[in-house]
Amino acid sequence: MSEYKSSLLRLLDERGHIHQLTDAVALDALACREIVTGYVGFDPTAPSLHVGNLASIMLLRRVQQAGHKPIVIMGGGTAKVGDPSGKDDTRKMLDAAQLKANIASIQGSFERVLAFDGSATGATLIDNDDWLSQLGYIELLRDVGRHFTINRMLTFDSVKLRLDREQPLTFLEFNYMILQAYDFLKLSRDYGCRLQLGGSDQWGNIVNGIELARRIDGTEVFGVTAPLITKSDGSKMGKTASGAIWLNEDQLPGYDFWQYWRNTDDRDVGRFLRLFTDLPLEEVARLESLGGAEINHAKAVLANEVTRLVRGEDAARTAEATASTTFTGGVGEDLPVLVLSEGMTIAAACTALGFTASNSEAKRKIAEGALWLDEEAITDPASPARPGRLRLGKKRHALLRVT
């Protein structure tokens, strides 16, 4: 662990949030001298962010905890273009009304994790459509585009990977890095923003913004990226066979959100406690050192802490109580509920609940003897679904009801 002098870089480092950073010495000195304004961008391509975005939200929380000012940039403008980073195909284009609705829906996730209190370190949420939609095309090409060479743009991973795989990269997406760089320039000018943070896949975009601010305004700005969060089994953070783990309650029931963290691999518990909670590092070290069945206590602590942070105290308490009741044979009040439609099969109910990604997968699970309705093992995937408590394996529970 490096010996940083500023509380900002020390906190980011000791919590495991730093992958790369530009001019660490100068940024460290700046953070010791003054309040640093830092931002992270989020494209509102869905009504909710997911667990994969939580690492970036935590970057802003750490900025604020260290006594600096976080800015949330909602990409209402850049989402109209689509970030090609880490994508194999072109994103679906959303209209202005959809993007505006998504921003309104997403905003609550930030309000739980960050303090928007109007103070010198209070968080601010800004939509980059406010300035990107005002840019004239000729103005953009003349004043910004001339600072980018095609030769260099072709070397960035977001472009290179698509071309290497012979997958189409539209001219629209090719311009994304220019618009994101312009965001940093604009924020530097209008808000005194000196730092951009993001995931490791954003390194190229961040460096572009740093160079643009230096070339046009002669301003020194900085970048920090966090490591890509993958689980010990190699799978991507926030993705399951049943779909994304959404932060919004209306996109994913509280019990399912809690249970996702409770099911964390033993090897990931300590790392996730450092990244996604505020528990003291001494306590994290104690919890991750637990062995055998005791590690389950650490997983429950992780689930409670993250659920409390993202969903609130009541959600954490209810989910934990539901888990306790469910696993001792009762029926917890926070279990996911599926209202059965006429003629629905038990396999279709599994898929509708998100227990399985398809009816075919549900049939495989039933053939393996993994599905139970109340205390009865299900053997026929075509059997009619009826009211009761459905269980897949030991960890997935839901209630089936009729209207």
Return the CATH number of the domain spanning residue range 7-226.
3.40.50.620
Q: What is the DSSP letter of 81?
A: T
Contacts with 171 (C-beta within 8 Å, 6 or more apart), sequence order: none
Encode pLDDT of 6-15 as tens digits.
999 999 999 9
Alpha helices for 34-170 (secondary structure H): 51-65, 96-113, 129-132, 137-139, 150-153, 157-164
Question: Does 253-326 match 337-401 in CATH topology?
Answer: no
**Of 93, 115, 114, 111, nearest to 44 (Cα)?**
93
- The predicted structure's pLDDT at residue 328: 47
Q: Cα separation of 292 and 273, whole Å?
A: 18
Angle subtended by helix axes 157-164 and 203-217, to nearest 10: 130
Q: What is the DSSP letter of 345?
A: B
Contacts with 297 (C-beta within 8 Å, 6 or more apart), sequence order: 287, 290
Fold observed for domain 337-401: 3.10.290
**What is the mean pLDDT of the segment spanning 90-94?**
67
Encode pLDDT of 54-71 as tens digits.
999 999 999 999 999 999
pLDDT at residue 25 greater than cutoff 50: yes
Q: SS3 for 338?
A: strand
- The predicted structure's pLDDT at residue 1: 44
Confidence of residue 307 (pLDDT cuts 50, 70, 90): very high
Angle subtended by helix axes 346-353 and 359-367, to nearest 10: 120
Q: Point out the least confidently predicted range of 72-81, 280-289, 372-381.
A: 372-381
pLDDT at residue 89 greater than cutoff 70: no
pLDDT at residue 311 greater than cutoff 90: yes
Half-sphere exposure of 28 (CA within 13 A, CB side): 14
Q: What is the pTM of this model?
A: 0.79
Residues facing residue 390 across a β-bridge: 373, 398
Encode pLDDT of 344-368 as tens digits.
899 999 888 878 888 888 898 899 8
pLDDT at residue 260 greater than cutoff 60: yes
Confidence of residue 149 (pLDDT cuts 50, 70, 90): confident
- The predicted structure's pLDDT at residue 326: 64
- The predicted structure's pLDDT at residue 158: 67
Q: Cα separation of 74 and 100, whole Å?
A: 10
Give the angle subtended at the CA of 190 by the CAs of 188 and 191, to the nearest 5°: 70
**CB distance 21 to 164 below 8 Å:** no
Q: Cα separation of 38 and 222, whole Å?
A: 9
Q: Could you tell me the residue ranges of all domains in the chain?
A: 7-226, 253-326, 337-401
Q: How distant, in Å, are the alpha carbons of 49, 231, 288, 308, 396 from that of 268? A: 22, 7, 9, 19, 20
- The predicted structure's pLDDT at residue 82: 67
Backbone angles phi, psi at 362, to 5 degrees: -60, -40
Backbone angles phi, psi at 224, to 5 degrees: -135, 130
Encode pLDDT of 222-241 as tens digits.
999 999 888 887 777 766 65
Mean pLDDT score across all residues of the chain: 87
Q: Chain centroid to CA 224: how far?
A: 17
**What is the mean pLDDT of the segment spanning 150-175?**
71
Q: Cα separation of 375 and 326, whole Å?
A: 13
Q: Point out the least confidently predicted range of 271-275, 315-319, 337-341, 382-386.
A: 337-341
Fold observed for domain 253-326: Tyrosyl-Transfer RNA Synthetase (1.10.240)
Number of helices (H) and strands (E), helices first, in the chain? 18, 13
Backbone angles phi, psi at 312, to 5 degrees: 110, 165
Cα dihedral 271, 273, 278, 283 sign: negative
Confidence of residue 280 (pLDDT cuts 50, 70, 90): very high
Q: Cα separation of 155 and 136, whole Å?
A: 27
Beta strands in 110-190 (DSSP E): 124-127
Residues facing residue 125 across a β-bridge: 72
**What is the mean pLDDT of the segment spanning 372-389?**
85
**What is the mean pLDDT of the segment spanning 174-203?**
92
pLDDT at residue 111 greater than cutoff 70: yes
